[in-house]
Amino acid sequence: MSLLNVYTLLLLISHVGLSYEYFITVDAHAEECFFDKVESGTKMGLMFEIAEGGFLDIDVKIVGPDGKVIYQGERETSGKYTFAAHMAGVYTYCFSNQMSTMTPKVVMFNMDIGESPKDQPGESSQGHDDHNKLQDMIKELSTTLTGVKHEQDYMQVRDRIHRSINESTNSRVVLWSFFEALVLVAMTMGQVYYLKRFFEVRRVV
């Protein structure tokens, strides 16, 4: 592997932000919260999808270190939200299933943490335009790769949901068909018995 390829690979790894992906179960009347400590100006992105449970909806809230609500949504099935940290500190994002009476919800989500501004190299450390262009291309490539990974995860969850719906629908169709067959057999036997009794010759002794 050439020196340029090694350098490009190291830059690509260094520019890929943190990305956490989880599957969690939020019980009825419960709320699950997660925390990330970042510097001011750091780009953050939340993507979530409800995989199982009830009507596939949940309440979502993102709160800043100062208690300010950055984003809040009710009964959402999926979503993507990107923002920049307005101040340094701990950011909280919560999934609430308190509106559900008995059904737990399975949530797939990931939180992307980008580079903090102080970690980004300044103009003085970049010697040449070619070097700047290479870094820009690597940043764009890392962002694209992260986006592709998230889309693949999203499509896997959607496929899982649709498969579950199809299997449930198929089971209901089979049960209904079996019930209709039983009713048809019962009606047929009843009609045969009735006709037999109707045409029966009664002898008077």
pTM passes above 0.75: no
| Domain span holding position 46 | 17-128
Q: Which pLDDT does position 203 carry in this prediction? A: 57
pLDDT, greater one: 186 or 162 = 186
Give 34-78 pLDDT, tens digit per residue. 999 999 988 888 888 888 888 888 999 999 999 999 999 999 988
Residue 98 and residue 170: Cα distance in Å, rounded? Answer: 31
Number of domains in the chain: 1
Per the domain annotation, does 136 fall within a domain?
no
Per the domain annotation, does 39 fall within a domain?
yes
The CATH number assigned to the domain holding 63 equals 2.60.120.680
Q: Which pLDDT does position 182 carry in this prediction? A: 93
The pLDDT mean for the chain works out to 79
Give 125-151 pLDDT, tens digit per residue. 445 566 677 777 777 777 677 767 767
> Residue 53 in contact with residue 27, Cβ under 8 Å?
no
Per the domain annotation, does 192 fall within a domain?
no
Per the domain annotation, does 100 fall within a domain?
yes
* Beta strand 69-76 pairing with 58-63: antiparallel
Which of 1-5, 43-47, 86-90, 184-188 comes out lowest in average pLDDT? 1-5
